[in-house]
Each structure stands twice: as C-alpha cells, then as structure tokens.
Structure 1
Amino acid sequence: MRGTPETMRASVLTEVGSLAVEDRPVPTPAPHEVLVEVAAVGVCGSDVHYYRHGRIGDYVVTAPLILGHELSGRIAAVGAAVEPTRVGQRVAIEPQHPCRRCRQCMAGRYNLCPHMRFFATPPVDGALCRYVTIDAEMAHPVPDSMSDEAAALLEPLSVAIAAMRKAAVAPGSSVLIAGAGPIGVICAQTARAFGASRIVVSDPVAARRERVAEFGATEVLDPAAVDIAALDPKVDAFVDASGAPPAVVSGIKAVAPAGRVVLVGMGADNYTLPVSYIQNMELIVTGVFRYTDTWPAAIHLVTSGAVDLDSLVTGRFDLEHVADALNSDSDPASLKSIVRPGA
C-alpha cells in the first residue's frame, strides 16, 4: 500500500467510561476489500451505551474496543480483486461484513446474518481511527456535492429508511414517531420524503419538540401533557425511536386498525404490551435491526434535497475529545456529534 503509513491513531475504549488514544497497525485490505481513510464518524447511541455500560443486550465489551460505525472517507488502497481506479474515491461506508452464504444472506436479509461482523459491535473494532477496511461493495461512492459529515450520517438515515419501509409509509399516510432525538428527527424527515401527509412526533423535552417541527413534523406533542393513546384520528403507523416502554404502549394504542408498529429505539429487554389491542386491531408489530440495501435510497434522498443531514450536526470533535462527543447527549441542544479522526 504505497504511501500509506504503517500505524495510525485510534480512540480505544479500554474499560467502561475510559478512552485512550493509541497507535494501532493500519489494516491491510483482503482481496475483495478496500482500505478507507476515515473522514468523519457520527456518534450513535449504541457507542454511548458501550462507553457507559460496556454492553448492549447480549453484546458485551470484554476487550479494548474501537467505537464508531457511522462513517465516510476516501479509498486509500484496494485489495487484489478490486478495480484500482477506485483509489481516491469518496465513499460512505455500510459497516457490515455478512457471510453471504447463510440462509438469511441468501434470502436477501443479510442484516440478519448470524455470522455478521458489524463495526463497533464486540469484538469487532469500529471507525474512531484513521483507517478501516470494508468489503468493496459496502463502500458506496458519494458525489462531491455531499459533505463528509452527511455521507457519514447516511448510516442513521438508512435506519430510518428501513423503518419507513417496514411501516409501509406512502404518500398521504399518517405516522406517529415517539422520540425526537437524532433517529426520531431523521425518521420525521424520511417520513416526509416518503410522502406522509401527517407526521406526529412526541417527546417530553420542549427543545426537542421545537427542533423536530423544523425537520418535517406536522404535529408535536408532549406525552406528559397529552394522552398519546387517545390520538384522534389514529395513525396508519407508529415508529418508536425512544425505547421507552410507556411510549411504546401508548403509541401502539394510537394506531388505527390494520396499522403497523415498528420498534427502532433501544429500551428495556422486556415489557408488557397491549396484546388484546394488537389482536383486535390486527396490528403488525415488527422491529428494525440495522438495514438491507438502503444506501442507494439514502444517497438519493440527500442529493435530491429531500433529507437534510448537514443541519443535524451540532458538535465536532477530534480523537483526543471523543469522550466529550460521547457525553454531548447530556445537552438538550445537542443533536448529532461528529468526530474527525484526521483533525
């Protein structure tokens, strides 16, 4: 890899609540991989969870781990089986390594691959470093009109696209979104891009309600002051981006007969659902676990102007200040923090 250094700087989670900047070897791309020089990394709630708690469900941090899975960059080198003309290409990274051979992969559901190696999911390192490798087809070219930061945020936009597809949001439909954090705001924009005519967003924080009204919501509600379950008229779909059990229960009851419920937020492992309502209304309840084949749609939504990702960025940090980026969610005014490993 001519011109590529042998070592790089990386922000490493050494134990719960503790980070260190270390020198790590620059990875070498396998034949079908590319080496990407990282330009921007978005901070996700899962990164924060690993930082503060050392685990998410069954995924437990047992060794030093590099966080970060929302990223963009430039191809610095390619494996032997990749076209060399890709060197220098600006790309947004889909941070997944599926096996491509299991039943789920063969059925087109590679996000459910039981052998998946996903960035920043123990024990797989993420992108808060200078260079990463990824399968060549998971490095999606982006136009020069798209910023590095927007390209990195195609990852959470992909979550929202997957959610809207599951919710069957279509022109003229109505949707309720619980939570006006980063995913909730991106879901509101995506629902609008998918043609929803009524987009109701609930959040207990006034500043977040005001902000989401600028990003596609047609109605904003305070769940502490309004009975969400009594929403009238009821909505075609409910998307939970909060992970809060009360929000999930009230949101389900706000869905019209034959509607859809999509669980996106990370919350409690178990809680009681209104089963009789789900049965009697014939609701479809499902979850979203990452995404499949969403980057082309995400790139289109951003380049067409239907979704604005640049305006979501409220903080920028370097590798020495990753802890500040991870803790920025304590500020209600913070929406999306970006780390630039090369800064």
Structure 2
Amino acid sequence: MKALVYEGPEQLSLRDAPDPVLTEDQHLVKVVAVGICGSDMHAYLGHDERRPAPLILGHEAAGVIVGGPRDGERVTLNPLVTCGICEACLTGRDNLCPERMIISMPPREGAFAQYVVMRAENLITVPGHVSLEKAALAEPIACGWHAVRLAKERLGAGSHTALVLGGGAIGLGAALSLVAQGVHDITMVEPNEGRREYLTDKCRQHAIAPDDLTSDMMFDIVIDGVGYAKTRATASAHAKPGGVIAHIGLGEATGGLDVRRMTLQEITFIGTYTYTAQDFRDTAQAIFDGRLGPLDWVETRALADGPAAFADIRAGHVAAPKIILHP
C-alpha cells in the first residue's frame, strides 16, 4: 500500500509500505479521510519521543471496512486501544488504561495510509447522510467533549461562561462541545489573524486576539487546547474563583500555572487525556445528529500532498482549523 511516512524532523515521504497484518479480532479499513493532528505536528518537528522515525502517523480517520461480515460498512475509528479488563477499563475510564495504545505510536502504525486495521469495538458505524470527512472529526472533537464533560461535572448545574485557548481543531471542537453540553457564553483566543478571521466569519465563534483578553475577563471554565507555559499562565489568570481549568494541550511539559492563585481561589486543574470509549461514541452521535453544527471548517488535500500540508501548517499559512487528507 501507499503511505505517508515520517522519516525524521520535517521529513515526510509518500512511499510503498507493507500492508497491515489482519488478525482474528480486527477489521481491515480502507482509509477515506484522515486528519492532521497537533500531535502529528509535534512528531513531524521531532518533538515527540513516543513517535520515532520511521513511522506512519495519523489517527483521526474514517473509511470503509474491506472483507468479512461488515464488508462495505462506513466507519469512523476510535484510535485508542485498551486492554478491556483492568480497573480503569471496567469502570468506564478506559482512557486511563495502563496498557492503552493509540495508532500512530509503535508498535501500531497510523492511518496516513491506504489501509489500517482496527478491532471491531473501535469502529463506529457512520450513517449514510454523514460524510466520512465529518466522521473523521470525531476523534479531535472527542478530546474537547471529554474535557467539557469533566469540567461540567466539577462545577455542577448552573449557567457557565467559558474561555477556550487555541483555535485549532481541538479548541474549536471544545467550543462546539460546550454548546452541545449547554454552555453558550464562549470566548476563543487565537493569535493567528487569518485563523481568527476564519473562526469568526466561517465558524461563527467569538474569537479574539490574546491582547484583547483584558485582566477583568474571568470565566467559570477555561479550556487550554494548546498546552504551553504561556497559555497555562493565561488559564490560571482568567479562571474565576472556584472555576475549572481543563488542560488538553501537550505543547510543552512545564511552566505557566499560578499555583498560589489557584490554591487561594480554589481553582480546579484537570488534566485531560483523549476520551473514554463512551465519550467517543457520544461525540460521534452528536456529529450524526447535527448537534455540533455543519462541520464545514476543514480543508481537504490528497495524501500525496501531505508533506506540503505539514509545511503549510508549520508556516502558519492554513486558516482552516483542520486539514483532512484523502489517501
């Protein structure tokens, strides 16, 4: 099969790769749409030791099952594979499974390829009225869905305000998830002017520049979809007393939090990693039901154009929150 292979920092090539090996508990999926994630960008830049070269990246995918009893079924992929028998898995917190693996990390190749294999329980059937490009957004949006659910559980009932840091697919997915879960007063912060205009004009979000976030603007929920020291500093400065910071981004490992203020003001910090299987199913159903909006904020390119797509994202030339590749 053809695959887009990460070969070293800022080096990608489309080349022949071995076909995936199918086992009894797996299905072969022909990949139709696969998104470029921030974690793919981290690997591309050589910043993720968990993804060493050479490796097929990509984990935000949807496609069609080939062969077997479900041949021809359109599916979206939950790329997080867990053991199913540990305490975390048995209590519905399978994203914390100590054996968890996500495709695009060794030993599991990713979905920037013509084919990928997945277990049956990781495949969600996509109804005919939903495009596979939209279905591929289930994975990045599920990260925000999970973060919003945890934040709302901490705060309890009430009318809440929210600040979302970062206007990529993770941040936008979090904003859409906030609305779907009953939070409507949302401000997004995005430094890139082109993307900020796109969020405002195309996605109908209230998106502002970092300099427009004044010191008196405080929020019940702050979602950091970036994860740098600077954004963590912003999060801890703008969470209301008793508020919640839901931290999704993995930009850099340390720095930024004002722990003293968070302690004195009883601000809860929640680190959020991926999503549970139920969060993924709930997100997919919200896409199918139209509760996350038209989801028309993607740019599509051929898999062969993947190297240029990564370079354009790296240079800040992409206004759309998500590029989806077509193998």
Q: TM-score, normalised by structure 1?
A: 0.87
2:203 is aligned, of 215, 221, 228, to 215
CA distance in structure 1 between the aligned counterparts of 2:165 and 2:230, rounded to whole angstroms: 10
In structure 2, do the counterparts of structure 1 residues 40 and 220 end up closer, same or farther at CA, with 3 Å as the change threshold? closer
CA distance in structure 1 between the aligned counterparts of 2:287 and 2:158, rounded to whole angstroms: 19
Query: What whole-Å deviation, never above 9, does each CA across 1:175-230 have from its counterpart, x for those lacking one?
Result: 1111112221222122112111310111223333333335353x433222433x42
- 1:147, CA displacement in angstroms? 0.4
CA distance in structure 2 between the aligned counterparts of 1:14 and 1:220, rounded to whole angstroms: 36
Counterpart residue identity of residue 57, structure 2: L
> Is the Cα contact below 8 Å between 2:228 and 2:256 reproduced in 1?
no
- 1:159-238 equivalences in 2 (<5 Å): 159-168=143-152, 172-213=159-200, 214-215=202-203, 217=205, 219-227=206-214, 229-231=215-217, 234-238=218-222
Structure 1 position 336 matched with structure 2 position 326: no
CA distance in structure 2 between the aligned counterparts of 1:326 and 1:95, rounded to whole angstroms: 21
Secondary structure of 1:230's aligned partner: coil
Counterpart position of 1:319: 303
Structure 1 position 307 matched with structure 2 position 298: no
> Is the Cα contact below 8 Å between 2:76 and 2:136 reproduced in 1?
yes
Secondary structure of 2:304's aligned partner: helix
Counterpart residue identity of residue 213, structure 2: V
Secondary structure of 1:215's aligned partner: coil
Counterpart position of 2:61: 71
- 1:243, CA displacement in angstroms? 2.1
Counterpart position of 1:3: none
In structure 2, do the counterparts of structure 1 residues 326 and 278 end up closer, same or farther at CA, with 3 Å as the change threshold? same
Q: CA RMSD in A?
A: 2.0
In structure 2, do the counterparts of structure 1 residues 93 and 207 end up closer, same or farther at CA, with 3 Å as the change threshold? same
Identity of aligned residues (%): 31
Secondary structure of 1:59's aligned partner: coil
CA distance in structure 2 between the aligned counterparts of 1:60 and 1:157, rounded to whole angstroms: 22
- 1:1-343 equivalences in 2 (<5 Å): 8-53=1-46, 55-56=47-48, 58-61=49-52, 63-78=53-68, 84=69, 86-168=70-152, 172-213=159-200, 214-215=202-203, 217=205, 219-227=206-214, 229-231=215-217, 234-292=218-276, 293-308=278-293, 310-314=295-299, 316-329=300-313, 330-341=316-327
Query: What whole-Å deviation, never above 9, does each CA across 1:28-62 have from its counterpart, x for those lacking one?
Result: 43222111111110111111111121x42x5140x
> Is the Cα contact below 8 Å between 1:74 and 1:88 reproduced in 2?
yes
In structure 2, do the counterparts of structure 1 residues 246 and 28 end up closer, same or farther at CA, with 3 Å as the change threshold? closer
Secondary structure of 1:176's aligned partner: strand
CA distance in structure 2 between the aligned counterparts of 1:210 and 1:191, rounded to whole angstroms: 21
CA distance in structure 2 between the aligned counterparts of 1:44 and 1:60, rounded to whole angstroms: 13
Q: Larger radius of gyration, structure 1 or 2? A: 1
CA distance in structure 2 between the aligned counterparts of 1:73 and 1:288, rounded to whole angstroms: 27
> Is the Cα contact below 8 Å between 1:199 and 1:216 reproduced in 2?
no
In structure 2, do the counterparts of structure 1 residues 309 and 155 end up closer, same or farther at CA, with 3 Å as the change threshold? farther
The number of residue pairs the alignment matches comes to 320
Q: TM-score, normalised by structure 2?
A: 0.91
Secondary structure of 2:178's aligned partner: helix
CA distance in structure 2 between the aligned counterparts of 1:43 and 1:313, rounded to whole angstroms: 11
> Is the Cα contact below 8 Å between 2:78 and 2:280 reproduced in 1?
yes
CA distance in structure 2 between the aligned counterparts of 1:309 and 1:22, rounded to whole angstroms: 34
